[in-house]
């Protein structure tokens, strides 16, 4: 196969690192350009842009995954990275086109789906969770240093240099895929011609959601994921803008916040998660993570001082253990021939939240009049900007209303998670799944097309 060496997890890791390192450099410049482009209703427009991007990603991910099963992973890695990074040079050329292309690029902003399929092609089942963890940790690591580097270069040399550097790294990523990444999908698994048909049932983004109600345990898990990830997705889209414009953080402080949060999250998702899973069990780890998330969101919601944001950020790192613990619970409780179906449901729920969360947060900021009508003024002697202090006086009771809404949502998720059994084999409860899929014989007999396919990764080996 074309490329350097045989397909490996390290090829996937480098692709992810370069893509998100390029975007991480633009963290501080994007916040400034966003406010300059939309001086009124900044948070609402940010939520709409990210919401459209998330919904388009949710709708397109299964189709791109299905096509990559037919035509191979390498071409779709190239396609997704190219279109995801296409808006970068437009930041300085035309901010309006920059945000418009970001919204539309959601159709192809599914690099993670293709990368996970790439990893699944080249790993055994017992190696897969470790490989996925390495990819996720690489994503976090790329965001630990890049915002700080981008903020420093922007302050010293100007934002134009940062945009040029980010564009160069994105081009390097594209060249790396073209030259170095070998195809992972075995030739024998690919059809002989490019005109081979794909399963449109397999490409249905709502296929995973339709199966949610077929088992009560899966329904509880999916409701928990939806209620807990909806505020997380909204928070991720708007929180750094909130720190910069409302809390008076400088670009360097925002970059440092991201770095510290990233490092703590990596520690939490590796060392702390492993210790908790062994000592208190899977379900209790999920409940603990949800508890930390409630505390973090409430602290963000009521916090009016920078030190409160830093303290809540440390708690946020601990709340990052929730989703890995949920994935592990599903992996342990689901039957071998249902892994793809159940994991696909959860991934589909998260994809839907990536679209709904940012739009919801932007709308709540809008209805509570958390807005800025001018650029931040020079910092006052106390450390925060005058504009930020003015708005905190205006909203002194609840400085961040969406975060408080998020805390209520996660509290509901915690109450639902209490009813999830610690040890349950879904095979004992899934006769309706077997009938629905037409598998009446051996539990591992082949299932109907489109029913046992993971809708985002689309990998027959999973």
Tell me which residue has tokens 């199966």.
Answer: 211
The burial of 193, by beta-carbon neighbours within 10 Å (0-12 exposed, 13-18 middle, 19 or more buried), is given as exposed
Q: Is residue 421 within 8 Å of residue 27, measured between CB atoms?
A: no
**HEC letters along 164-206:** HHHHHHHHHHHHHHHHCCCCCCCHHHCCCCCCCCCCCCCCCCC
Residue 104 C-alpha from the chain's centroid: 17
Q: Measured between alpha carbons, how far is 5 from 182 in angstroms, rounded to an integer?
A: 7
The SS3 of residue 43 is helix
Q: Is residue 456 within 8 Å of residue 205, measured between CB atoms?
A: no
The domain limits of the chain are 1-184, 211-370+399-421
Structure token digits, residue 460: 């027959």
Tell me which residue has tokens 């510290």.
Answer: 260
pLDDT in tens, 169-185: 999 999 999 888 887 77
Q: Is residue 229 within 8 Å of residue 357, measured between CB atoms?
A: yes
CB atoms within 10 A of CB 352: 22
Residue 184 C-alpha from the chain's centroid: 24
Q: 385 has which bridge partners? A: 379
Q: Is residue 409 within 8 Å of residue 227, measured between CB atoms?
A: yes
**In degrees rounded to 5, what are phi and psi of residue 201?**
-65, -40
Find, among 221, 247, 206, 134, the residue nearest to 429 by Cα. Answer: 221
- The verdict on domain 1-184 having CATH code 1.20.1250.20 is yes
Structure token digits, residue 364: 């709540």
pTM value is 0.70
Q: Is residue 147 within 8 Å of residue 28, measured between CB atoms?
A: yes
Which fold does the domain 211-370+399-421 belong to in CATH? Growth Hormone; Chain: A; (1.20.1250)
Find, among 234, 48, 51, 19, the residue nearest to 141 by Cα. Answer: 19
The burial of 137, by beta-carbon neighbours within 10 Å (0-12 exposed, 13-18 middle, 19 or more buried), is given as middle
pLDDT in tens, the chain (462 residues): 576 778 888 888 899 899 989 988 888 788 788 878 887 777 888 888 888 888 888 888 777 777 777 777 888 888 889 988 889 988 888 888 888 888 888 888 778 778 877 887 777 766 666 677 677 778 777 877 788 888 888 888 888 899 999 999 999 999 999 888 887 776 655 554 445 555 666 667 777 677 767 778 878 888 898 899 888 888 877 787 788 777 778 878 888 888 888 888 888 877 888 788 888 888 888 899 999 999 988 888 887 788 888 888 888 888 888 877 887 777 666 665 455 556 666 777 877 888 888 888 888 888 877 665 444 443 433 344 434 443 444 444 556 788 888 899 999 999 999 988 876 554 434 444 444 444 434 433 334 333 333 333 333 332
End-to-end CA distance of the chain: 23
Instruction: Determine the Cα angle at 16 with ends 152 and 232, to 5°.
Output: 75
CA distances from 23 to 45, 81, 98, 144, 388 (A): 19, 11, 13, 12, 26
Structure token digits, residue 205: 């983004």
1-184 and 211-370+399-421 in the same fold: yes
Q: Measured between alpha carbons, how far is 23 from 21 in angstroms, rounded to an integer?
A: 5
DSSP 3: S
**In degrees rounded to 5, what are phi and psi of residue 65?**
-65, -40
In order, the DSSP letters of 261-278 are: HHHHHHHIIIIIHHHHHH
């Amino acid at each position: 196969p074309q490329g350097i060496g045989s397909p490996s997890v390290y090829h996937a890791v480098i692709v992810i690192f370069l893509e998100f390192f390029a975007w991480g450099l633009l963290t501080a410049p994007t916040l400034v350009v966003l406010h300059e482009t939309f001086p009124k209703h900044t948070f609402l427009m940010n939520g709409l842009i990210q919401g459209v991007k998330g919904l388009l990603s949710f709708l397109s991910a299964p189709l791109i995954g299905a096509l990559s099963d037919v035509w191979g992973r390498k071409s779709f890695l190239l396609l997704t990275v190219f279109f995801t990074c296409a808006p970068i040079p437009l930041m300085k050329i035309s901010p309006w086109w920059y945000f418009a292309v970001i919204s539309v690029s959601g159709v192809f902003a599914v690099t993670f789906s293709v990368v996970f399929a790439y990893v699944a092609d080249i790993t055994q089942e017992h190696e897969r969770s470790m490989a996925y963890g390495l990819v996720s940790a690489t994503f976090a690591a790329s965001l630990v240093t890049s915002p700080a580097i981008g903020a420093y270069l922007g302050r010293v040399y100007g934002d134009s240099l940062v945009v040029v550097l980010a564009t160069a790294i994105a081009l390097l990523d594209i060249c790396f895929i073209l030259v170095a990444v070998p195809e992972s999908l075995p030739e024998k698994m690919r059809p002989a011609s490019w005109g081979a048909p794909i399963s449109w049932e397999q490409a249905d983004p709502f296929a995973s959601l339709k199966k949610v109600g077929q088992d009560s345990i899966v329904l509880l898990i999916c409701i928990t994921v939806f209620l807990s990830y909806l505020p997380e997705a909204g928070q991720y889209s708007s929180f750094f803008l909130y720190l910069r414009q409302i809390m008076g953080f400088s670009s360097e402080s925002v970059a440092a916040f991201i770095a510290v949060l990233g490092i703590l999250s990596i520690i939490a998702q590796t060392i702390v998660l492993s210790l908790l899973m062994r000592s208190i069990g899977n379900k209790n780890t999920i409940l603990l993570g949800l508890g930390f998330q409630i505390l973090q969101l409430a602290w963000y919601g009521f916090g009016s001082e920078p030190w409160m944001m830093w303290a809540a950020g440390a708690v946020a790192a601990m709340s990052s253990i929730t989703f890995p613990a949920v994935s592990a619970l599903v992996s342990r409780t689901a039957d071998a021939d249902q892994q793809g179906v159940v994991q696909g449901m959860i991934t589909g729920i998260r994809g839907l939240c990536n679209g709904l969360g940012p739009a919801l947060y932007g709308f709540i900021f809008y209805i509570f009049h958390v807005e800025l009508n001018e650029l931040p003024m020079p910092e006052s002697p106390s450390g925060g900007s005058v504009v930020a202090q003015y708005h905190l006086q205006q909203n002194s009771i609840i400085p961040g209303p969406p975060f408080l809404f998020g805390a209520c949502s996660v509290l509901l998720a915690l109450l639902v998670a209490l009813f999830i059994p610690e040890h349950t084999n879904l095979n004992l409860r899934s006769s309706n799944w077997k009938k629905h899929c037409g598998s009446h014989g051996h539990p591992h007999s082949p299932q109907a097309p489109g029913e046992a396919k993971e809708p985002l990764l689309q990998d027959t080996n999973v």
